[in-house]
Amino acid sequence: MGALIVILVIAVVLLATNIRVVPQAYTYVVERLGAYQTTWSVGLHVKVPLIDKVAKKISLKEQVVDFPPQPVITKDNVTMQIDTVIFFQITDPKLYTYGVERPLSAIDYLSATTLRNIIGDLELDETLTSREIINTRMRAVLDEATDPWGIKINRVEVKNILPPKEIQSAMEKQMKAEREKREAILIAEGQKNSAILVAEGKKTSLILEAEAEKQSAILRAEAKKEASIREAEGEAEAIINIQKATAEGLKMIKDVGLNKEVLTLKSFESFERAANGQATKIIVPSDIQNLAGLATSLTEIAGKE
């Protein structure tokens, strides 16, 4: 009875120690007697005691590896330091376990050689401005090379490109010269545009002044013309009125029936008014001698009445 209990206890202990729970985003590679047996996914698993063994626990999450800077030489013989960041994911646990020894070191060496090959075909200026090209070419090469290892290269990013210090100093001076050049060009263009605007403003002002003067001259000419027309119309109307008055006066004289005696009397009255004035010299018309006869006629007329 005691031996049976011991056997049961040993069996329970062996079962408990051989139960495995695979967590999310992980997978276990199991070997049996040193050979690949199976791959456990997420969940509860039991291995055969003393026969099965968990050879490798593998994470299926996307992983990031930042490799140290690598010395590379450009096409124009400039040595620079470039470091890269690689984003990869394990797609086949079996190939990852048995495909290559130390997969991360293999990726490191492969990325270094690939980077040297790519940069060797580029000059310094192209290297500094072609990060996207470098990233794309490295990802394509690394993804193809790591496929037999069960690794998928998702992205490759060039983190830093560090030229030699003398090259950096020359580049800074060149950038400073370019900025000063652009500044001088912008200032010159601003002055040019300002001068053009001033000239256009003066031209517009002169045109407006000329238009205003022209309009003023037209208005003055029209006013003068209107005044002349009105003056001419006034003179014509005055002449017409004078002619009408003269015609009416002649008609009245004709209607009244003036004779020689009346006209002589009117002349005498005018002479009398002239004699009563302040004049010191009076010119007597030659026909004034007829006044005596006219006076006699008037006396006779009065006596008869």
DSSP 40: E
Q: Which amino acid is at 87?
A: F
Q: Can you tell me whether residue 65 is helix, strand or coil?
A: strand
Q: Is residue 128, in this structure, part of any structural domain at all?
A: yes
Q: Based on the domain organization, do 176 and 234 belong to the same domain?
A: yes
Of 168-182, 197-211, 224-238, 280-294, the one with minimum mean pLDDT is: 280-294
Which pLDDT band holds residue 41 (cuts at 50, 70, 90)? very high
Q: Look at residue 298 in the predicted model and tell me its pLDDT.
A: 44
Q: Based on the domain organization, do 140 and 214 belong to the same domain?
A: no
Domain containing 129 equals 63-163
pLDDT > 50? residue 301:
no
Q: Which of 108-122, 162-176, 274-288 has the highest mean pLDDT?
A: 108-122
Q: What is the dihedral of CA 168, 174, 178, 183, to 10 degrees?
A: 80
pLDDT > 80? residue 53:
yes
pLDDT > 60? residue 3:
yes
Contact of 268 with 294, CB cutoff 8 Å: yes
Rounded to whole angstroms, the Cα distance separating 251 from 256 reads: 9
CA 88 from centre of chain? 44
User: Among residues 163, 165, 111, 170, which one has the least CA distance to residue 140?
Assistant: 111
Top pLDDT among 74 and 294 is at: 74
Q: Which amino acid is at 89?
A: Q
User: Among residues 95, 148, 155, 152, which one has the least CA distance to residue 131?
Assistant: 155
Q: Is residue 226, in this structure, part of any structural domain at all?
A: yes
Tell me how many domains the chain contains: 3
Q: Based on the domain organization, do 82 and 143 belong to the same domain?
A: yes
Q: Based on the domain organization, do 77 and 120 belong to the same domain?
A: yes
Its sign, for the CA torsion 295, 301, 303, 305, is: negative
Q: Based on the domain organization, do 81 and 128 belong to the same domain?
A: yes
Rounded to whole angstroms, the Cα distance separating 191 from 203 reads: 18
Top pLDDT among 60 and 266 is at: 60
Q: Based on the domain organization, do 250 and 227 belong to the same domain?
A: yes
Own/partner pairs for 120-124, CB < 8 Å, 24+ apart? 120/72, 120/73, 120/74, 120/75, 121/75, 122/74, 122/75, 123/74, 123/75, 123/76, 124/74, 124/76, 124/78, 124/80, 124/163, 124/167
Q: Based on the domain organization, do 158 and 68 belong to the same domain?
A: yes
Residue 138: CB partners within 8 Å, gap ≥ 6?
Answer: 84, 111, 114, 115, 118, 156
pLDDT > 90? residue 303:
no
Q: Look at residue 260 in the predicted model and tell me its pLDDT.
A: 57
pLDDT > 90? residue 278:
no
Q: Based on the domain organization, do 40 and 95 belong to the same domain?
A: no
Q: Look at residue 283 in the predicted model and tell me its pLDDT.
A: 52
Q: Based on the domain organization, do 149 and 183 belong to the same domain?
A: no
Q: Based on the domain organization, do 71 and 113 belong to the same domain?
A: yes
Q: Is residue 302, in this structure, part of any structural domain at all?
A: no
Rounded to whole angstroms, the Cα distance separating 300 from 305 reads: 9
Whole-number mean pLDDT of the chain?
81
Q: Is residue 263, in this structure, part of any structural domain at all?
A: no
Last-in-domain residue among 163, 196, 217 = 163
Q: Based on the domain organization, do 69 and 143 belong to the same domain?
A: yes
pLDDT > 90? residue 1:
no
Q: Is 77 left (phi over 0), alpha (psi -120 to 50) or beta?
A: left
